[in-house]
Chain A
Amino acid sequence: MSALLLASEGGRSVANPSFPLLSILILTPVAGALVVALISKRRPELTKQAAVLFSLLTGALAIGVVVTFDKHLPGFQMVDDVQWIKNPDISWKLGVDGISLWMVALTGLLFPIAMLGAPPHDEEKSFYAWLLVLEAGCLGAFLALDTFLFFVFFEIVLVPMYFLISGWGYGERRYAATKFFLYTMFGSAFMLVGTVALSYLHAKGGPVTFDLQVLAEQQGVVAETTARWLFISFAIAFAVKVPIFPVHTWLPDAHTQAPTAGSVILAGVMLKLGTYGFLRYGLYLFPEASAWAAPVMVTLGVVGIIYGAVCATMQKDLKRLVAYSSVAHMGFIVLGIFAITRQALTGSVIQMVNHGVSTGALFLLVGYIYERRHTRQIAELKGLQTPAPKMAAIFTLVMLSSIGLPGLNGFVGEFLILIGSFLTVKWWAVVAVTGVILAALYLLWAYQRVFHGEPDEANRDFRDIRFTEGLALAPLLVLIVFMGLFPKPFLERIEPAVNKLVHHVEVNSDHREPGVSTKGDEVVPESERRAEGEAAEGDHATSDTEQGDGHGTEEGN
């Protein structure tokens, strides 16, 4: 019976039927895109104003979600549920918990910044329209509580990003855009089969549902081996998106060729779709399979950390360097997720925000350097500190945050991930630490080559940062410092959701978080914890058979 009870508990989310805030949040940028598309081509300044207005409005709504979010509840809040297709049951079901909350906030923040900070040089209208569509897609993917709906949003974001890269990118943009599209679609192909297979197998001939909560809370309906295969099909899609070594090769190309705004969004928001997918459609949907696959995933994560760092060190192109540093940082997040401990997961979620903020800022800065010098080659840049002291200062701050200097945001996430993963995958955590050191190496070395020394002829007249550019960067800089000094408001909203997730994994698999109590030296005996878990599982098996019989065989029409 426990599965049923769990389902009913998990299913009972705090609904707010009076005001569909989350739906409005997603539809605002869609409306914005339509408005922008309808404005005459001869009024580029009006398009920009409208686009920024709508993205700011979306940002305000995202902040509204953060403000109204009840931090004590571990489950999904503000659930909107409208049926879309009757048979199979597919719904427009949205909800937010402590994990998706910050992804939504990050999305709401980065889009206006990308629009204000990195305006295009031509064809403003379609540029802004695509960006707004992209924003809606990202928000939808983070908020979806229906596997089908998630897939739809996960897939639709490819189209605007494809056009952003192929339309406004640099030299090799068409190659990069096609590579990006095909890689991600290759991953999605597996995920679509997995999504559909999960629902049909879960139905056992009864009514087919794509409701995430139903599928995730009723564990054990699908056989263990099957669930592992299904997990693999999802994992391939997310691995491409994150990206995890060895399917990361699209990322350096896409990042380097994308326009600045595209890079900011790609690194800041879209890579998070992969790690978020691992949390929501990995650990939550397939707890047993995730625990089973954890050693491999952790290994790949650590390989990504070291590989990304080593590649970043070698790069001659500043933007490519930042792109590879993303591979390394995302490796950290994957390590944290598949360590499956409370600290590591909390660290991963906060690190997802951190990476979005600092890498977004780094890409903006690299974009500004390119605007001025029309080169990204580190060898051609020299001594920028002298003509542009303000930019040097900002770059230093962002770089230190990316390295993970204590007192800045990057430290909080990396530290939590490392102590959390030390509990379960000790030696991998040790190896991952060297990644932090390598990060310091490649970023500081790059900084030294670009900003230090005497500027040569070409770099002497380098213009310092402008007011509008500074304005776009300001919120990110404030967040970097604020999150580093005072992470509590972020952590306390993440923790209930993460605790619930870890508990969910423990109940449904052999995985046990090592018993280090948070209350000091009071250690929970391993045997007690194990017994508790098994009792729950025992109940579980009986309820599954009931579940199977309970389903009707009506096909319906």
Chain B
Amino acid sequence: MLAEVERLSTPSVEWSVMLPVLILLGGAVVLMIVGALTPRRPKLPWHAGLTVVIALGSIVASVFLWWRVRDDGPIAAVSDAVVVDGLSLYLGVAILCSVVLAALLAHGYLRREKLEGPDVYVLMLLSAAGGLVMCGANDLLVLFLGLEILSIAVYVLAGIHVRRARSGEAALKYFVLGAFSSAFFLYGIALVYGATGSTNFTKIQTFLAGNLLTNNVMLLAGFALLLVGLGFKVAAVPFHAWTPDVYEGSPSPVVAYMASGVKVAGFAGMIRVFTYTFSTYEADWQPMIYALAVATLVVGALFAVSQTNVKRMLAYSSISHAGFILIAIQASSTQGTRAALFYLATYTFMVAGSFGVVTVVGRAGDNAHDLSDYSGLARRSPLLAFAFLVFLLAQAGVPFTSGFLAKFGVIGAAVEARSFWLALIAMLSSVISAFVYLRIVLAMYDREAEVTGPRLTVPLGARAAILIALLVTIGVGLVPEPLAHVTRTAVRITEPKPAPQPAPAEISAGS
């Protein structure tokens, strides 16, 4: 006689709210299968085209969800493991934009390097799906899941240029250090679970608001380990050591995605975990992020000065940018989150555009990244040089570019949180960074440089990507109100209602 089989209870899945992720996953599978059945080098660039269409489709689905969430409030799904709210949709779209730009850049690059095939695009879509899961995670384990989906695809992407030894080296470095940091992250999850009894953000938040821990060492250690894991993804000092090497070695379009999309996902996790979930413990984690921000800003700016390789310069400058976003998170306020969201969106386009130019200037072999390779660029291709100039000035924070307003928002958040010294350190470090950008600009606009080498051909996709990034960078710089409005709405429809504070019951951690 068979005993009656006990059915495993599975949570109901609200498919409609998962649509942006599902589109990416489904699209990736379709692309993989169709790509395997058709020639690797198609005449029409449909691999990139389909990727862009899939990403755009996901953006459209996100926009519809955005409208729904804006009117009805955040939606919790899959038994509260996933949440669809302003933060997840906004940052999800930022990641998708970075996929669109990277895919446009990748096409010309892969053709030039004779690496064509659907695999890069499939990996990019899968990685973005992981990023979206991270943005919408409402559970530490789901966050970890997203982090791994995102990372594993990017490890492979870093090494996709099979004939370049540096690409393989970058992939290996990234993988070893990334796996190491994932372990930290996982340990952090375990400690937080031990201290609070749950991995669900909502439950953790309610628990921490309602109970006072007599012994919070375990929880604080959990914070630190989670910060290590996320700090690695966003390249915060002292977890940044991989960045210059990996950025230098990886294929340039992949770097465009790594510097924008992966960073956005990392910060999404950080905002979700620290600003929202651990908001009651902000006095404990704010100093950690404060220290991290100062180190990131200063190291990012100072180390960039001694570089002669443009990709490494940009790698250090991306570290410095992470410092700025950390400042916004450190403020742990509505204004701070808004500033971080604004910064991330504008930064995505700035950095993708910058690496777009780097992709084109890199020439066949992806090796022409020395500062001397940029000298006289303004003469060879004035428009490309102009685009790079705008991106660099935006990164330096010159007015009438989106970068200026992003920095301005961050400074506002820091000042509002009374972190005047942090604001000052940030601005002074941006002066040092400006020196780095000026070196590149000087090289490009050097009128005595001999114009050597073959004419640079800018593929259509790269042209489109750089143009989009340029328009957004200048457009947001001139008319920031629409984006500012969206960030305000995003924070409003994410803001958790502050949990009422009942009489705290004493519970000792680890019991």
Answer whether A and B are interacting partners: yes
Tell me whether B423 and A197 are in contact (CB under 8 A): yes
- A85 on the interface (CB 8 Å rule)? yes
Q: Please, which residues of chain A bring their CB within 8 A of the CB of B393? A: 159
Tell me whether B481 and A181 are in contact (CB under 8 A): no
Chain A nearest CB from B167 CB (Å) reads 34
- A491 on the interface (CB 8 Å rule)? no
Tell me whether A190 and B427 are in contact (CB under 8 A): yes
Tell me whether A86 and B434 are in contact (CB under 8 A): no
Docked pose: A174 CA to B442 CA in angstroms: 7
- B415 on the interface (CB 8 Å rule)? yes
- A56 on the interface (CB 8 Å rule)? no
- A441 on the interface (CB 8 Å rule)? no
Task: Select A189's contact among B430, B442, B445, B447, beta carbons within 8 Å.
Answer: B430
- B193 on the interface (CB 8 Å rule)? no
- A555 on the interface (CB 8 Å rule)? yes
Scan residues 68-87 of chain A and give those whose CB is less than 8 A from a CB of chain B: 84-87
Closest to A159 in B: B398
- B400 on the interface (CB 8 Å rule)? yes
Q: Please, which residues of chain A bring their CB within 8 A of the CB of B435? A: 178, 182
Tell me whether A156 and B438 are in contact (CB under 8 A): no
Task: Select B484's contact among A86, A163, A186, beta carbons within 8 Å.
Answer: A86
B396-435 vs A, Cβ < 8 Å mask (1 yes, 0 no): 0011100010011001100110001001100110110011
Q: Which of A84, A167, A197 has the most CB of B within 10 A?
A: A197
Docked pose: A87 CA to B485 CA in angstroms: 9
A178-203 vs B, Cβ < 8 Å mask (1 yes, 0 no): 10011001100110110011001100
- Given A155-B399, A178-B438, A192-B408, A123:B447 Cβ within 8 A: yes
Scan residues 426-473 of chain B and give those whose CB is less than 8 A from a CB of chain A: 427-428, 430-431, 434-435, 438, 442, 445-447
Task: Select B424's contact among A87, A177, A189, beta carbons within 8 Å.
Answer: A189
Closest to B434 in A: A185
Tell me whether B445 and A152 are in contact (CB under 8 A): no
- Given A85-B484, A185-B431, A156:B399 Cβ within 8 A: yes
Tell me whether A166 and B424 are in contact (CB under 8 A): no
- A557 on the interface (CB 8 Å rule)? yes
Docked pose: A156 CA to B408 CA in angstroms: 15
Closest to A555 in B: B334
Q: Please, which residues of chain A bring their CB within 8 A of the CB of B481? A: 84-86
Scan residues 94-136 of chain A and give those whose CB is less than 8 A from a CB of chain B: 123
- B211 on the interface (CB 8 Å rule)? no
B483-497 vs A, Cβ < 8 Å mask (1 yes, 0 no): 011001100100000
Docked pose: A185 CA to B412 CA in angstroms: 18
- A470 on the interface (CB 8 Å rule)? no
- B480 on the interface (CB 8 Å rule)? yes
B380-403 vs A, Cβ < 8 Å mask (1 yes, 0 no): 000000000000010000111000
Chain A nearest CB from B401 CB (Å) reads 10
Docked pose: A186 CA to B400 CA in angstroms: 19
Task: Select B428's contact among A123, A186, A197, A201, beta carbons within 8 Å.
Answer: A186
Docked pose: A185 CA to B397 CA in angstroms: 10
A381-421 vs B, Cβ < 8 Å mask (1 yes, 0 no): 00000000000000000000000000000000000000000
- A88 on the interface (CB 8 Å rule)? yes
Tell me whether A197 and B420 are in contact (CB under 8 A): yes
Q: Please, which residues of chain B bring their CB within 8 A of the CB of A174? A: 442, 446
Chain A nearest CB from B83 CB (Å) reads 20
Closest to B432 in A: A182
Task: Select B415's contact among A181, A186, A200, A555, beta carbons within 8 Å.
Answer: A200
Chain B nearest CB from A197 CB (Å) reads 5
Docked pose: A151 CA to B445 CA in angstroms: 26
Docked pose: A181 CA to B431 CA in angstroms: 9
Q: Please, which residues of chain A bring their CB within 8 A of the CB of B411? A: 192-193, 196
Task: Select A200's contact among B334, B412, B427, beta carbons within 8 Å.
Answer: B412
Docked pose: A54 CA to B459 CA in angstroms: 37
Chain B nearest CB from A418 CB (Å) reads 37
Q: Which of A84, A123, A193 has the most CB of B within 10 A?
A: A193
Tell me whether B400 and A152 are in contact (CB under 8 A): yes
Docked pose: A557 CA to B424 CA in angstroms: 28
Closest to A152 in B: B399
Docked pose: A240 CA to B342 CA in angstroms: 31
- Given A85-B484, A156-B399, A156-B400, A196:B412 Cβ within 8 A: yes
- Given A87-B484, A186-B431, A193-B424, A178:B492 Cβ within 8 A: no
Task: Select B445's contact among A163, A178, A186, beta carbons within 8 Å.
Answer: A163
Docked pose: A167 CA to B446 CA in angstroms: 8
B90-113 vs A, Cβ < 8 Å mask (1 yes, 0 no): 000000000000000000000000
Chain B nearest CB from A335 CB (Å) reads 29
Tell me whether B445 and A557 are in contact (CB under 8 A): no
Q: Which of B404, B415, B423, B480 has the most CB of A within 10 A?
A: B415
Q: Please, which residues of chain B bring their CB within 8 A of the CB of A196? A: 408, 411-412, 415, 423
Q: Please, which residues of chain A bring their CB within 8 A of the CB of B398? A: 155-156, 158-159
- Given A85-B481, A156-B399, A193:B423 Cβ within 8 A: yes
Task: Select B412's contact among A88, A162, A189, beta carbons within 8 Å.
Answer: A88
Closest to B398 in A: A159
Task: Select B427's contact among A84, A87, A156, A189, beta carbons within 8 Å.
Answer: A189
Closest to B405 in A: A85
Q: Please, which residues of chain A bring their CB within 8 A of the CB of B434? A: 181-182, 185
Q: Please, which residues of chain B bring their CB within 8 A of the CB of A178? A: 435, 438, 442
Q: Please, which residues of chain A bring their CB within 8 A of the CB of B484? A: 85-87
Docked pose: A153 CA to B398 CA in angstroms: 10
Q: Please, which residues of chain B bring their CB within 8 A of the CB of A85? A: 480-481, 484
Chain A nearest CB from B371 CB (Å) reads 13
Scan residues 412-451 of chain A and give those whose CB is less than 8 A from a CB of chain B: none
Chain B nearest CB from A139 CB (Å) reads 15
Q: Please, which residues of chain B bring their CB within 8 A of the CB of A156? A: 398-400
Chain B nearest CB from A499 CB (Å) reads 33
Docked pose: A227 CA to B489 CA in angstroms: 34
Tell me whether B445 and A167 are in contact (CB under 8 A): yes
Docked pose: A349 CA to B420 CA in angstroms: 34
Docked pose: A45 CA to B356 CA in angstroms: 36
Q: Please, which residues of chain A bring their CB within 8 A of the CB of B445? A: 163, 166-167
Q: Please, which residues of chain B bring their CB within 8 A of the CB of A166? A: 442, 445
Docked pose: A123 CA to B448 CA in angstroms: 13
Chain B nearest CB from A205 CB (Å) reads 9
Docked pose: A155 CA to B492 CA in angstroms: 33
Q: Please, which residues of chain A bring their CB within 8 A of the CB of B423? A: 193, 196-197
Docked pose: A84 CA to B408 CA in angstroms: 14
Q: Please, which residues of chain B bring their CB within 8 A of the CB of A84? A: 480-481
Chain B nearest CB from A42 CB (Å) reads 14
Docked pose: A555 CA to B412 CA in angstroms: 14
Q: Please, which residues of chain B bring their CB within 8 A of the CB of A148? A: 408
Q: Please, which residues of chain A bring their CB within 8 A of the CB of B442? A: 166, 174, 177-178
Closest to A203 in B: B416
Closest to A156 in B: B399
Q: Please, which residues of chain A bring their CB within 8 A of the CB of B407? A: 192
Q: Please, which residues of chain B bring their CB within 8 A of the CB of A555? A: 334
Chain B nearest CB from A521 CB (Å) reads 51
Docked pose: A190 CA to B434 CA in angstroms: 15
9 closest A-B pairs (Cβ-Cβ)? A189-B427, A152-B399, A557-B488, A197-B415, A193-B423, A156-B399, A185-B431, A196-B411, A200-B415
Besides A178-B435, A186-B428, 16 more A-B contacts (Cβ < 8 Å) are A85-B480, A152-B400, A156-B400, A159-B393, A177-B442, A181-B438, A182-B434, A182-B435, A190-B424, A192-B407, A192-B411, A193-B411, A193-B420, A193-B424, A193-B427, A201-B415
18 A-B contacts (beta carbon < 8 Å): A85-B484, A87-B484, A155-B398, A159-B398, A166-B445, A174-B446, A178-B435, A181-B434, A182-B431, A185-B431, A189-B428, A189-B430, A193-B427, A196-B423, A200-B412, A208-B412, A557-B485, A557-B488
Interface residues in chain A, defined as those with a beta carbon under 8 Å from any beta carbon in chain B: 84-88, 123, 148, 151-153, 155-156, 158-159, 162-163, 166-167, 174, 177-178, 181-182, 185-186, 189-190, 192-193, 196-197, 200-201, 208, 555-557
